[in-house]
Amino acid sequence: MKTIAGYPLANCLCGARRALLITLWQASANTAKIESKPPSLPPISDARPFRLAVKDNIATEGFPTQCASGILGQHASPFEATIVRQLRARGATVVGKTNMDEFGMGSHSVNSIHGPVRNPLALAGEEVSAGGSSGGSAVAVVLNDADIALGTDTGGSVRLPAAYTGIIGYKPSYGMLSRFGVVPYANSLDTVGLLARDVEFIRELVFDTRLYEEHDSNDPTSLSIETRQRCSMACPPTLPNLSQLTIGIPVEYNIDELDPSIRAAWVATASALESQGARLVPVSLPSTKEALCAYYILAPAEASSNLAKYDGVRYGVRGPGGDAAGETLYSEARGAGFGAEVKRRILLGTYSLSSEAMDNYFIQAQKIRRLIQQDFDRVFKLDNPLYEPRQFDLSEMSADTPLQDKQGPVQVDFLLSPTAPTYPPKLSDIQKRSSVDVYMNDVLTVPASLAGLPAISVPVKVDQSHQFPTGLQLIAQYWDDRRLLAMADRVVKLMAA
């Protein structure tokens, strides 16, 4: 029988789909590898049973946690991620771990020791990207191998696969869902996200079961109970009629690289909302053009620190040669265990944190990140509940920013934009692209990640002759997740009518 690091692969759905790596039927065989089993959380009353697929960088009892990396080829976590335990208590049965980009570093789920994830919407004989880095989770949902799947979103890794495969991809507000048990890529950006075929299931799971209220003391980025209550009081619990909503169209997101069919779907959706009474207005987020550069400085910098532990001593697979050859301790283990993209980002991050580059790169990127957050806070009607209300300073705005009145520019409830600038590319085309070209795929999802805001990708198909649906993104103010999900549900139903 085939194995992955000693784990049997009976009926593992690897083959052409490469979505689920280790399935439910192997769970009992792997339980012995878990050294200590955490106490189960008490079950939630009236929990609805459902099948859950888990991204391979989230620790899960009874399954290996490899992060699609050779350096963790034999790793079984001694504990289970809090989010998995929480969902088990809500009726989840884990059906498998899903393929991904190695350590979450990628936009197409091709940087994996298990091979690339292929989009099931592609025509027969075509090999098309499923998006990344949570591509396996998205495909597991599309193929009905799971009712809901866990992914992680650092710069768009839940929303991009959702857009490419025509499902729902939700990134909650940073700090809402626990990251304990998630193998970190970039701590200040990593967010556990959910993928499903409909919005309502996600809303029920997060809000009806009160998952959003649960603080995890094991996760230093998990908001405290008091902060959660304050944030919830600052955000309206229900969504009003469309006639009472203002939706912003960020002008900086209308980039030259945007596919004309995606732009047409964006315009059609905005027009449909306007026809139902919503107010549609253009808004400016001037720091957006710097967001991608800032992200690819900050994320690799954090990754270079997080991945330092994989040395073949504490974590990782040691090679057959001597680790101390040439007065180096673990060059062989890291060189053989990490893939090319991970090595590239470690080098980028290490350089930006060096004494020579810290001021010119890392510090400047942090300043840009703050400007991006301030841009979002200016355009939303709701104040950011994490900060004291801040009056507009018109001198800080671009001279061509349209103003509603003398007090400042128009403010909105939500932002509507495309999720990705193009439809999913062929895997053969991705191999021909430079790293910078591949990074451009994240240009529309990275700003919300840098600001820690909730965002969701929903599928829209205006042109029925087109092979793939268009992923459109809705962004809301921090902790306005409940209304964001309700708005996403309205958009899906409106465009399907």
* Domain ranges within the chain, ordered by starting residue: 39-288+411-496, 289-382
- How many helices, marked H, and strands, marked E, lie in the chain? 15, 13
Direct distance between the N- and C-terminal alpha carbons of the chain, in angstroms, rounded to an integer? 48
Reading the chain (497 residues) residue by residue, the pLDDT tens digits are 344 444 433 333 443 355 676 553 333 333 333 444 556 676 776 678 999 999 999 999 989 999 999 998 878 888 999 999 999 999 999 999 999 999 999 999 999 999 999 999 999 899 999 999 999 999 999 999 999 999 999 999 999 999 999 999 999 999 999 999 999 999 999 999 999 999 999 999 999 999 999 999 999 999 999 999 999 999 999 999 999 999 999 999 999 999 999 999 999 999 999 999 999 999 999 999 999 999 999 999 999 999 998 887 777 776 666 555 555 667 777 888 899 999 999 999 999 999 999 999 999 999 999 999 999 999 999 999 999 877 666 666 666 666 666 667 789 999 999 999 999 999 999 999 988 899 999 999 999 999 999 999 999 988 888 889 999 999 999 999 999 999 999 999 999 97
Quote the CA–CA distance of 320 and 329 in Å, as a whole number: 13
**Cα–Cα distance between 3 and 134 in angstroms, integer?**
22
338 CB burial (10 A radius; 0-12, 13-18, 19+): buried
Q: Is 133 annotated as catalytic?
A: yes
- The sign of the torsion formed by the CA atoms of 95, 98, 103, 105 equals negative
> Are 378 and 214 within 8 A, CB to CB?
no
- For residues 288-297, b (16+ Cβ closer than 10 Å) or e, as one string? bebbbebbbb
φ, ψ dihedrals at 191, nearest 5°: -140, 130
Of residues 77, 112, 133, 352, which has the active-site annotation? 133
CB 414 within 8 A of CB 478: no
Nearest residue to 102 via CA among 76, 127, 134, 129: 134
Q: Which residues pair with 193 in a beta bridge?
A: 151
- Strand, helix or coil for residue 459: strand
Nearest to 184 by CA among 36, 81, 288: 81
In this prediction the pTM is 0.91
440-476 pLDDT, tens per residue? 999 999 999 999 999 999 999 888 888 899 999 999 9
DSSP per residue, 25-80? GGHHHHGGG-S-PPPPPPPPTTPPPEEEEEETTB--TTS---TT-GGGTT---SS-
The domain covering 39-288+411-496 belongs, at the CATH homologous superfamily level, to Amidase signature (AS) domain (3.90.1300.10)
Torsion of CA 258, 256, 372, 483, to 10 degrees: -30
Whose structure tokens read 């789920």? 109
Q: In b/e form, how buried is each residue of 125-149, taking b as 16+ CB within 10 angstroms?
A: eeebbbbbbbbbbbbbbbeebbbbb
Which of 55, 134, 173, 449 does the annotation list as catalytic? 55
* Candidates 109, 112, 137, 157; catalytic one: 157
Q: Sign (positive/negative) of CA torsion 150, 221, 154, 257? A: positive
CB 425 within 8 A of CB 136: no
Distances (CA, A) of 239 to 34, 161, 302, 351, 481: 45, 27, 37, 46, 11
